[in-house]
Structure 1
Amino acid sequence: MGDERQQMTLQVIIIRADGALAETEDVRWRAFAKAFSESDYQWSCDREGFALTMKLGSSEARMAHYVRSLLRGRPETEDFTLLIQAMHRRASKIFSEMLADSRIEPRPGIRELVVTARAEGLRLVLVSTLARRDTEKLLETVLGQRGREAFHLVVADEARYSGDCERLYHDTRTQIDIDPRHCVVIEAGRIGREAAGAAGFPVITTRSAFCKETPAFGAGTVVVENLPDLISGPDRHRLDLLNSENRAALLSALQRLHAGNCEGLADLDWTDQMRVSDILKTKGSAVKTIEPNATLRALAHSFRKEAVGAMLVLDAEGKLQGIVSERDLARAIDDFGISLPEMRVADLMTRSVVTCAPEDRVAIVANVMTQRRIRHLPVVVNDAVVGLISIGDVLKHRLDEVQLEADVLRDVARARR
């Protein structure tokens, strides 16, 4: 049995397009919001709530869930079903349009893995539950035309399979015509991981920002934030760019995981204990806020008076409505000129606010802020704002921890003299 395992060399890397290649859930979320808005439905769903519906599987099932929630109590007639289908078609069309216009970046480590795998002669397969045109557009946006040429595509789009991941990996196994034990799948969530595993594929999950799973390692499961976490060590930070040596190490880590050899991987820092709450203990929970109806003149005055770079926009009930920054104000000066002072904060604020929780790990928060170019994150508990952290707070906390580690090592060295 051991000899058989050793002969199962890694020959094919299979990457899930919608989630593992690049984050697409934020685009899907905005597409749903626009579809409901166009239909005059009051759809209120934040990023966290939308993430929870990933367990429903297809986007059509998620749309059906939200339509039923909005029309709760009404009989599910044929018209009801037609409404769900129409809303889903519209949201899908908006998603395609947004996908074409969005500047989507590949997940960390993906570009480097593709380059290294091709150089080593490994086959690359991209699997997707998106429509084929959306999959091709996403791949071209993320990796360019050469990326399109690098992959064999397997698409189980929702027009045929309703986003069925099991059918997707069944088709993948049929099309690549190779023992799945010669492959490794890079997934982004539980449903896809389980479907790939059921088809016989070894799986590594690079946790999507919309995925609620806890990073884990062991017992046949590898769940990490991003691929570079597989090679993170004391001399390398997980957000550092990958050089040629790192790229080779990343592919080597995948090969070892595929072979069931975890030597050198088990001691990685999978459970960084720094939490957002640790930052708030030092910084405090005071947050500067402003109302949506305040003028931008009042906003500028508040920025100057409070000496802050961003303010949260709360309604009369204290609910988070958006966030606005000095950078937003600077851009608005160029866009609107002399009409700016009397405009309202609601006209300028970012409404789709990414938030975090006190128990979130600082490493994950830093990753999200870096990938999505976010400078400020509200800290929220049960829809109530309990703090605000900046990218500066995150970096300072990390530097403080490094300094503490250095001090401890120095004290230990002195004690041994």
Structure 2
Amino acid sequence: MPENEMMETGTDGIVGKLQVRLVEEGTRRPVAGADIQITYEGSPDSPVKSTVTDESGMTGIMDLPAPDPSYSENYSEQQPYSEYTVRVLAPGYEDVEVAGTEVLPNVTAIQEIRMRKARQQEEFWRIVIGPHTLFGNYPPKIAEPEIKPVTETGEIVLNRVVIPEYVIVHDGVPTDSTAKNYWVRYRDYIKNVASSEIYATWTDAAIRANVLAIMSFTLNRVYTEWYRNKGYDFTITSSTAFDQKWIYGRNIFQDISDVVDEMFGNYLSRPNVKQPILTQYCDGRQVSCPNWMTQWGSQALGQQGYSTIEILRYYYGESIYINTAVEIAGVPSSWPGYDLGEGSGGTKVRQMQEQLNVIAQAYPALPMVDADGIFGPETKAAVEKFQSIFGLPVTGIVDYRTWYKISEIYVGVSRIAELA
């Protein structure tokens, strides 16, 4: 189906970008050949674009009308993002509609949809994305001590910080027994929260400062087993009064995704404190929070040239520092600690080649390579193709981000079923 070019630009020619990615629920295998229709939320009967997913389950990157950048770069009462509805028809899968996909100016939004196998159904399966926390009205955070008492007893001895493979998100306040629990990959959770709570148009330093605060907060909940010690069966909630805003099915932004992939092993520490710091924050406009980071304030500091650590220390004090976890759960093999490129060899190269070959069985655009432990031209070409498919800089070099992205996709496609 050819793309429909009915609307190319917004006011004054301002556009944002959107890519839709379809994966099968459970296996994360790509869903190719699906019909995609994009409509503007304010005019649902007027199609903006129509396209189909390629063999990797992805659409091209589409230009869509978006608001003035100043609405999201600086505080404004104007809605800073456009909202679109994404409708999907794929043979063998349930029809699905995602309402409220957010498109910001000059950045790429990624709407991933996990497709369900077809069952008897007459209407669209509909996902509604709620408003962004900086634009909507949500309860303010209930203040807590930033360091929790921890008793190192029970089944798990809490003697080190481990980056979990999954967190269990309770989609409501802790006491709401009717709210659903979702198993969410840690990195996907961080990307979702950051895309729900800050704008991808912000300065790089502000984005990084906020991502670090979100990760440290999350890892504090993991490390202290905060909710499990209270008798609950989840890691964290989606309530802004208790934790951070996570929205089921929402789109993320490429700029935020890139930062998370680069920094997901980090968290914030204080000297002589083993646990990650519970880095609380607020928006700084609708809600004030002395002694916490404010999100709009972090952006203002970023615009003034403050670095990431300078922003964090401005709010949390000079003793705060960026730490790195020694263990990442759920990965077949850890990053070797140095980049792999042409001329590299050994066990780590062979492991990477074997993982790429498993991924290639699900993603036919990715070429197979000889798993010989030698990083030659064919392996470089396969790495470049992998990077192009999954939105990484196409360098042909397996750096930290590429290594763990290969590992993430490998784990997803090689499992018979995934916790969902």
Q: Provide the TM-score with structure 1 as the length reference.
A: 0.25
Is the helix fraction higher in 1 or 2?
Answer: 1
**Greater Rg over alpha carbons, structure:** 1
